[in-house]
């Protein structure tokens, strides 16, 4: 049988991450939707304008924990892929310390200067007292939300996906329960919804902190020197900025567009825009879950220069994203009343306006889904310049510019068509850039996902074997035929066979093992990846010492890492 890579291991890991991550994304965003559901049902849909006024602050808080959470986890994952566990622990510790400091400072500023912030959030004297009721309790939730989410991101990439999901679920179930009790039984009004969020995240944060007492965790809290704190803090912020800026631009965008809509359509326009934002939020939950499954896998495989693996995960994610985009576009375009029913909007004077807004706005959802995924993808391959440009265009410049221009030309309907125009314009920019980069690099980068191709002088063997000794023996023979140097090929072949058989012997349940061999003029690199237990040369003492001695003799370096529940052993053999 010819050797080939079937991506079974990669597909299995993607599936393992996708469902819990999707459910965590649903649970993680459910607090905002739950507040909107309950506020609409118990206090009337007009109170949704309060939530819309709070959105800029909510998006700003999203920016803070995305900045630290995404930046920290991407850097830590990259360091683990490069076998720098101590540096990864520095990043983990600094991320948690910094998010606590920043979130507490934001809370204190809000408590000390509430009037200044409220003037920015709400320019309606009628709505401002209600916004304040929600605002004063939401401030108390900020430290818990920020710490909880950053720790949850690290727990996920440390293969504690189920803990992350259960913690998100707990936070939001408790939020709903407290919302109902505080609003309905304690008559706290809209402030009860925010206080329910505080209590829900407080309890869930305590539960998530059980991560620190689990012996299987690989991230450790360590002592940090002051100089290293700022050094890594800058790196974390630079890495996380492209994703977090989505929320930053969203915050600025909402302030500007809210102002434009109030000028064109008055308060009913804010209700309609709130429904459009809720429509986008429903879709973004699913796209965010897909993106969060893609991001850590692509980060690891890109660092390991496994560009075929990167493209496989990216294409699989794109198919899922397009499916979600098509489904929700069709649903809300054909049946806009669905979102109205979800938020109990039945005012006969508002329904026609809101239905029309949702129907037109939904035309943007497919392109929105693809753009959202793509921005997270280019960040995971550390193309920060492109990620920053796309987030600025898509998150702020295009929507604000199109809304302003279209509202002047076509008034009310122009506002909603502007969002579709903004998303299509971003897709056009992505396409034009991919064509430009392909020509500029003479084919080094190709395709929508800017796939990087390996050096033409480097030979590669990619193989996926069953957890079977016969497959291991067959692969070792294939490797021997693959390598041109007879002396090196014989030793490498024997080493791979013995390590694979050892891995099979110590694992009762194992499905697939990936083996990649790269042969260049300077060196031969062998990568062996599997779930379960792997070969760690620094810890395994049960393996035959003759095999260890042989590996030491023929190898210039042997590295081992465990990321996302996958074991990776890298053997480097230099030819000079």
Tell me the pLDDT tens digit for each residue of 503-521. 888 777 778 888 888 887 7
157 and 302 in a common domain: yes
Q: Is residue 447 part of a domain?
A: no
- Taking 60 as the threshold, does the pLDDT of residue 496 lie above it? yes
What does 278-344 look like in DSSP terms, one character per residue?
Answer: HHHHHHHHHHHHHHHHHHHHHHHHHHTT-HHHHHHHHHHHHHHHHHHHHHHHHHHHH-THHHHHHTT
Q: In this structure, what token pair is assigned to residue 564?
A: 């996302």
Q: Is residue 3 part of a domain?
A: no
Q: Is residue 454 part of a domain?
A: no
- 280 against 505, higher pLDDT: 280
Q: Is residue 567 part of a domain?
A: yes
Q: Once rounded to an integer, what is the mean pLDDT over residues 87-99?
A: 94
513 and 369 in a common domain: no
Q: How far is 96 from 101, CA to CA, in rounded Å?
A: 9
- Taking 80 as the threshold, does the pLDDT of residue 354 lie above it? yes
Do you know the residue count of the chain?
A: 576
pTM above 0.85, yes or no: no
The 10 Å Cβ neighbour count of residue 125 is 7
Q: How many domains does the chain have?
A: 2
What pLDDT is recorded for position 274?
81
Q: Is residue 452 part of a domain?
A: no
What pLDDT is recorded for position 380?
81
- Taking 60 as the threshold, does the pLDDT of residue 322 lie above it? yes
Backbone phi, then psi, for 563, in 5-degree steps?
-135, 135
Asked if 179 and 193 touch (Cβ cutoff 8 Å), the reply is yes
Q: Once rounded to an integer, what is the mean pLDDT over residues 197-207?
A: 93
- Longest pairwise C-alpha distance within the chain: 83
Backbone phi, then psi, for 343, in 5-degree steps?
-110, 20
424 and 465 in a common domain: no
Which residue's structure tokens are 């550390």? 382
SS3 category, 570: strand
Q: Is residue 1 part of a domain?
A: no
What pLDDT is recorded for position 31?
61
Q: Once rounded to an integer, what is the mean pLDDT over residues 49-62?
A: 79
What is the DSSP-derived secondary structure letter of residue 126? T
Torsion angle of the four alpha carbons 191, 196, 198, 204, in this order, in degrees rounded to the nearest 10: -170
**Long-range contacts of 337-343, Cβ-Cβ distance < 8 Å, separation of 24 or more:** 339/275, 339/278, 339/279, 339/282, 340/275, 342/37, 342/278, 343/36, 343/37, 343/40, 343/45, 343/48, 343/275, 343/278
Q: Is residue 390 part of a domain?
A: yes
Q: What is the mean pLDDT of the chain?
A: 84
> Which range marks the domain in which residue 247 is found?
8-440
> Can you say how many angstroms the Cα of residue 217 is from the centroid of all Cα atoms in its chain?
21
259 and 133 in a common domain: yes
What pLDDT is recorded for position 576?
61
477 and 435 in a common domain: no
- 332 against 176, higher pLDDT: 332
Q: How far is 430 from 339, CA to CA, in rounded Å?
A: 31
- Taking 80 as the threshold, does the pLDDT of residue 19 lie above it? no
Last residue of one domain, picked from the residues 393, 413, 440:
440
434 and 296 in a common domain: yes
198 and 109 in a common domain: yes
77 and 213 in a common domain: yes
- 35 against 569, higher pLDDT: 569
496 and 353 in a common domain: no
Confidence band for 231, pLDDT divided at 50, 70 and 90: confident
Which residue's structure tokens are 């035959």? 544
Q: Is residue 475 part of a domain?
A: yes
Strand order in the sheet with 459-466: 459-466, 512-519, 523-530, 566-574, 557-563
Q: For residue 514, what are the β-bridge partners? A: 464, 529
- 135 against 523, higher pLDDT: 135
Lowest mean pLDDT among 304-313, 366-375, 398-407: 304-313
481 and 432 in a common domain: no
What pLDDT is recorded for position 118?
86
């Amino acid at each position: 049988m010819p050797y080939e890579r079937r991506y079974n291991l990669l597909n299995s890991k993607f599936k393992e991450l996708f469902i819990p991550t999707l459910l965590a994304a649903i649970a993680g965003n459910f607090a905002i939707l739950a507040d909107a559901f309950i506020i609409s049902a118990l206090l009337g849909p007009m109170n949704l304008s309060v939530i819309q006024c709070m959105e800029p602050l909510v998006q700003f808080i999203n920016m803070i924990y995305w900045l630290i959470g995404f930046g920290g986890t991407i850097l830590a994952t990259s360091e683990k892929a490069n076998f720098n566990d101590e540096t990864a622990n520095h990043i983990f510790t600094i991320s948690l310390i910094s998010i606590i400091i920043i979130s507490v400072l934001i809370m204190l500023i809000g408590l000390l200067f509430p009037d200044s912030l409220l003037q920015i959030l709400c320019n309606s004297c009628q709505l401002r007292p209600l916004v304040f009721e929600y605002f004063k309790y939401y401030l108390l939730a900020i430290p818990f939300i920020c710490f909880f989410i950053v720790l949850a991101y690290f727990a996920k990439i440390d293969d504690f996906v189920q803990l992350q999901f259960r913690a998100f679920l707990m936070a939001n179930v408790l939020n709903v329960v407290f919302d109902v009790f505080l609003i309905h039984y304690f008559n706290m009004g809209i402030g009860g919804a925010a206080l329910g969020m505080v209590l829900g995240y407080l309890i869930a944060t305590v539960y998530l902190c059980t991560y620190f007492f689990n012996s299987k965790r690989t991230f450790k809290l360590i002592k940090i020197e002051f100089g290293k704190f700022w050094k890594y803090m800058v790196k974390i912020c630079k890495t996380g900025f492209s994703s977090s800026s989505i929320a930053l631009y969203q915050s600025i965008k909402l302030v500007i567009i809210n102002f434009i809509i109030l000028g064109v359509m008055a308060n009913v326009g804010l209700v309609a825009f709130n429904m459009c934002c809720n429509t986008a939020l429903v879709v973004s939950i699913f796209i965010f879950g897909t993106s969060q499954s893609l991001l850590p896998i692509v980060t690891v495989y890109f660092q390991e220069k496994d560009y075929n693996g990167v493209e496989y995960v990216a294409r699989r994610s794109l198919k899922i994203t397009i499916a979600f985009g098509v489904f929700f576009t069709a649903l809300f375009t054909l049946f806009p009343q669905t979102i109205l029913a979800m938020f109990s909007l039945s005012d006969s004077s508002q329904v026609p306006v809101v239905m029309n807004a949702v129907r037109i706005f939904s035309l943007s959802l497919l392109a929105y889904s693809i753009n959202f995924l793509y921005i997270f993808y280019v960040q995971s391959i550390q193309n920060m310049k492109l990620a920053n440009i796309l987030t600025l265009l898509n998150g702020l410049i295009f929507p604000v510019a199109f809304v302003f221009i279209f509202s002047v030309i076509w008034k009310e309907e122009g506002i909603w068509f502007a969002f579709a125009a903004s998303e299509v314009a971003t897709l056009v920019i992505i396409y034009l850039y991919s064509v430009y980069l392909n020509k500029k690099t003479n084919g080094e980068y190709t395709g929508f996902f800017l796939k990087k191709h390996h050096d033409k002088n480097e030979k590669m063997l990619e193989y996926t074997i069953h957890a079977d000794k016969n497959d291991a023996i067959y692969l070792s023979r294939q490797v021997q035929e693959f390598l041109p140097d007879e002396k090196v090929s014989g030793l490498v072949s024997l080493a791979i066979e013995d390590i694979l058989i050892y891995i099979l012997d110590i694992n009762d349940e194992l499905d697939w093992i990936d083996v990649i061999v790269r042969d260049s003029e300077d060196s031969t690199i062998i990568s062996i990846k599997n779930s379960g237990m792997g070969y760690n040369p620094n810890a395994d003492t049960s393996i035959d010492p003759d095999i260890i001695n042989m590996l030491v003799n023929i190898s210039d370096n042997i590295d081992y890492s465990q990321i996302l529940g996958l074991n990776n052993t890298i053997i480097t053999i230099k030819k000079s």
